[in-house]
């Protein structure tokens, strides 16, 4: 029972972080670098004039989380999940995050090759079919709201996979 309570709290926390309607996580579009640094709880991994990158966890996945600035104003942010996760784990992550984003923003306005991922979640797919599809898998989704444009892309080949969720100001 305790396990389910922790799982529910984790899901709620992730939902709040992912689905902020007016920015990204705890930030708002247009914030300065210093304002973002004051409210972000994670430790800085890399910082340049127009970028802050943090390493953190999201739904149990290690992610690079970045904030991008123009004229010292927050205009773009993202989560990037990459190695060391298997392609199967990346597909599970894609489905998980797509469902969260669909709940917040409605069905994606743009979906390219999403049926490939739906087919991959089938238990009847053979290993040969899985390898064939993963050779050049590229799936994109986009959601639009009054405040945010959210884009998610899953790219996979035989050697590696990458999942990116990008938030932009509208």
Q: In the numeric block, which tokens belong to residue 65?
A: 């989380």
Whole-number pLDDT of residue 80: 96
Burial of 64 (0-12, 13-18, 19+ CB in 10 A): middle
Alpha carbon of 95 to those of 26, 36, 137: distances in Å? Answer: 24, 29, 14
94 within 8 A of 43, measured Cβ to Cβ:
no
Backbone angles phi, psi at 134, to 5 degrees: -70, -15
Confidence at residue 5, expressed as pLDDT on a 0 to 100 scale = 46
Helix (H/G/I), strand (E/B), else coil: 32: coil
Of 35-44, 133-142, 153-162, where does mean pLDDT reach its minimum?
Answer: 133-142
Q: Where are the alpha helices (DSSP H) in the chain?
A: 2-18, 33-39, 87-105, 114-120, 127-134
The 3-state DSSP class for residue 135 equals coil
| pTM for the predicted model, two decimal places | 0.77
Indicate the average pLDDT of the chain. 79
- 18: which strand partners? none
| Whole-number pLDDT of residue 130 | 52
C-alpha–C-alpha distance, residues 139 and 125, integer Å: 18
Three-class DSSP labels, 77-110: EEEEECCCCCHHHHHHHHHHHHHHHHHHHCCCCE
CA–CA dist 113, 161 (Å, integer): 16
Q: Does 36 score more than 60 pLDDT? A: yes
């Amino acid at each position: 029972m305790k396990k389910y309570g922790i799982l529910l709290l984790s899901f709620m926390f992730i939902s709040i972080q992912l689905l902020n309607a007016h920015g990204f996580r705890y930030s708002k579009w247009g914030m300065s670098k210093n304002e973002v640094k004051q409210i972000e709880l994670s430790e800085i991994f890399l910082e340049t004039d127009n970028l802050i990158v943090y390493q953190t966890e999201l739904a149990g996945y290690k992610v690079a989380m970045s904030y991008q600035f123009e004229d010292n104003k927050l205009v773009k942010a993202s989560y990037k999940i990459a190695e060391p996760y298997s392609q199967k784990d990346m597909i599970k992550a894609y489905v998980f995050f797509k469902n969260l984003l669909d709940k917040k923003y409605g069905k994606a306005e743009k979906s390219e090759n999403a049926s490939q991922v739906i087919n991959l979640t089938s238990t009847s797919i053979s290993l040969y079919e899985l390898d064939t599809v993963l050779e050049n898998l590229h799936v994109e989704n986009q959601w639009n709201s009054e405040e945010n444009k959210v884009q998610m892309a899953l790219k996979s080949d035989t050697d590696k996979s990458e999942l990116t969720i990008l938030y932009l100001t509208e």
